[in-house]
Amino acid sequence: MKQDDSMGRESESEVGSQIPTARRKVGIRLRAIERRLGGRERAAAAAGVGVSTLASWVAGSADPKFSKVAALARAAGVSLDWLAYGEGGEARSQPPHAANDLNEQLLLDIIAVAEEVWSLAGLSPQPEEKAAKILAVYKEIVAAQQNGETVSPSRILRLVHSA
CA dihedral 68, 74, 77, 78 (to 10 degrees): 50
Per residue in 114-163, pLDDT tens? Answer: 998 999 999 999 989 999 999 899 888 888 887 788 878 888 888 888 87
- Are 138 and 160 in contact by the 8 Å Cβ rule? The answer is no
Report which secondary-structure segment, H or E, holds 2.
none
For 48-91, what is each residue's pLDDT tens digit?
999 999 999 999 898 888 888 888 888 888 888 888 888 776 65
Torsion of CA 136, 145, 150, 161, to 10 degrees: 0
Range 112-139 burial, b when 16+ CB lie within 10 A, else e: ebbeebbeeeeeeeeeeebeebbeebbe
